[in-house]
Structure 1
Amino acid sequence: MPVTTRTVEYPADGLTMVGHLALPAGADRRPAVLIGPEGPGLNDFQRRRADALAELGYVALAFDINGGRWFSDPEEMLAYVMPLLADPDRMREIGHAALDVLRAEPRTDQDRIAAIGYGTGGAIALELGRDGVDLRAIGTINAVTTGRPGEAAHIRCPVWAAVGSEDPIMPPAQREAFTAEMQEAGVDWRLVVYGGAQHAFHHPTVDHTVLPGVAYHARHAERAWHDVVGLLDECLPVVSPA
């Protein structure tokens, strides 16, 4: 049986979010994964990632952050995203709304959920952890963001983070602040720095203007996806039904 997908609409942050749910073959409960998009919004890249995880046996929800919009204008995107990134409570509201949709899916194993995200979506995944959500793993790419003092101690699962060495948006000082926060909180954390990669190195080239310091790196994109799958296999293994 093939993977099945459907669009799901749900309210969050005063908007109607439009997510993409992918279900593996079968009818049994499976571990589940939230997938958060980068600042411009949810597009076919994250939808395909959800489909790929469903092919591996996971229930996967690629969630929305912009009310179904995709920002092709970098300045318009920043005007929306920067206030969001500065407001942990808004990020948590968006994350919890998506988590509620994932938990409402009958195929989801309620006790086995992970959250991964890219850019803004990764920051939201981290905020769910800082809010004490019972997750099995958190994975972020291009999002080594720090939170409010002391709240990282609420993270209850391993955290894997990835960033490009030449990322001007997540520079060395930001990486150091993130790792110091994780270490002080006693989190089981890992940071992978991909040499020569810039911001959003995981995302295939788009056909509109991008911010300086943003560039695709095909080799590291493949490696990062391999590492994400490895994180899930370690912390959230799929057990096929007998």
Structure 2
Amino acid sequence: MTTVTTRTVTYQADALTMVGHLALPAGSDRRPAVLIGPEGVGLSDVERRRAEALAELGYVALAFDLHGGRYLSDPEEMLARCMPLLADPDRMRGIGHAALDVLRAEPRADLDRVAAIGYGTGGAIALELGRDGVNLRAIGTVNGLTTGRPGEAARIRCPVWAGVGSEDPIMPPAQRQAFTAELQAAGVDWRLAVYGGALHAFHHPPVDHTALPGVGYHPRHAQRAWRDIVGLLAECLPVAE
């Protein structure tokens, strides 16, 4: 098995000291780099393991933080922080850019080959980086099918892949349609995968946040969504280029 090196990185964003998880592949050469944004509850071992899995595949990967090193297991506390955040593109971009700066400061990261993927709130942040005109090779978002400010999707310069559960009440068909209509009107290369029977956060193994209505783990679709994201990266951000 390929040796992966990990370390904790701290940085400032959104008036908080964020605590991210950086995973590096074996070797000393420059590699394509991937930002990984967590669900609204915050950074957990789920995203840390995903960063390490991408490092195993040869990527420099940073799982970034949302809440200053905290995991918001209480649904009311999580919603109280995330709902205003999701309504404020500039705050989301600030969090995304701060993490991107950390990733870019890593000597192993190839600054011309960067992708952003995320889940829920983290996926919304990945999209806002694209809408802010960041030079990304790919954007992947699961659950976070958010629309942006009028016209700004035209700044997205890379393919966008989105995944959602068919039974997700937080991202219902009307929201999916608004999201894809925005990307289509902007001329973005987009794809949408709808996973039949899946709820919100279907990709996330059962933890305390599943007490939220409309949230549930779907093991089979979780594996499929991960394969789809890995496929997106293989297409747009190949390790050997």
Under TM normalisation by the shorter chain, which class is it? Answer: over 0.9
Partner of 2:163: 162
Residue identity opposite 2:225 in structure 1: A
Is 1:74–1:209's contact at 8 Å kept on the other side of the alignment?
no
Partner of 1:171: 172
Partner of 2:29: 28
CA positional deviation for 1:212: 0.4
Give the Cα separation in 1 of the matches to 2:36 and 2:177: 25
Q: 1:209 to 1:222 in 2, by over 3 A?
A: closer
Consecutive aligned runs of 4 or more in structure 1 exceeding 3 Å deviation: none
Partner of 1:101: 102
- Residue aligned with 2:211, SS: coil
Give the Cα separation in 2 of the matches to 1:156 and 1:208: 34
Give the Cα separation in 1 of the matches to 2:117 and 2:222: 15
- Residue aligned with 1:109, SS: strand
What is the CA deviation profile of residues 52-105 of structure 1, one whole-angstrom value per residue up to 9, with x for unaligned ones? 000000000000011000011101100000000000000000000000000000
Give the Cα separation in 2 of the matches to 1:115 and 1:210: 28
Is 2:119–2:141's contact at 8 Å kept on the other side of the alignment?
yes
Give the Cα separation in 1 of the matches to 2:7 and 2:74: 28
Partner of 2:199: 198
What is the CA deviation profile of residues 154-185 of structure 1, one whole-angstrom value per residue up to 9, with x for unaligned ones? 00000000000000000000000000000000
- Residue aligned with 2:191, SS: strand
The reply to whether residue 151 of structure 1 matches residue 152 of structure 2 is yes
CA positional deviation for 1:207: 3.9
Partner of 2:141: 140
Structure 1 unpaired stretches of 5+: none
Listed as ranges, the matches of 1:54-93 within 5 Å are: 54-93=55-94
Q: 1:67 to 1:218 in 2, by over 3 A?
A: same
Residue identity opposite 1:155 in structure 2: I
Partner of 2:236: 235
Partner of 1:210: 211
- CA RMSD, Structure 1 to Structure 2 (Å): 0.9
- Residue aligned with 1:57, SS: coil
Q: 1:114 to 1:208 in 2, by over 3 A?
A: closer
What is the CA deviation profile of residues 185-236 of structure 1, one whole-angstrom value per residue up to 9, with x for unaligned ones? 0000000000000000000001466210000000000000000000000000
Listed as ranges, the matches of 1:108-147 within 5 Å are: 108-147=109-148
Q: 1:160 to 1:87 in 2, by over 3 A?
A: same
CA positional deviation for 1:239: 1.1
TM-score by length of 2: 0.98
CA positional deviation for 1:37: 0.3
Number of corresponding residues: 240
Structure 2 unpaired stretches of 5+: none
Residue identity opposite 2:143 in structure 1: N
CA positional deviation for 1:50: 0.1
Residue identity opposite 1:85 in structure 2: L
Give the Cα separation in 2 of the matches to 1:107 and 1:217: 35
Of all paired residues, the percent bearing the same amino acid is 82
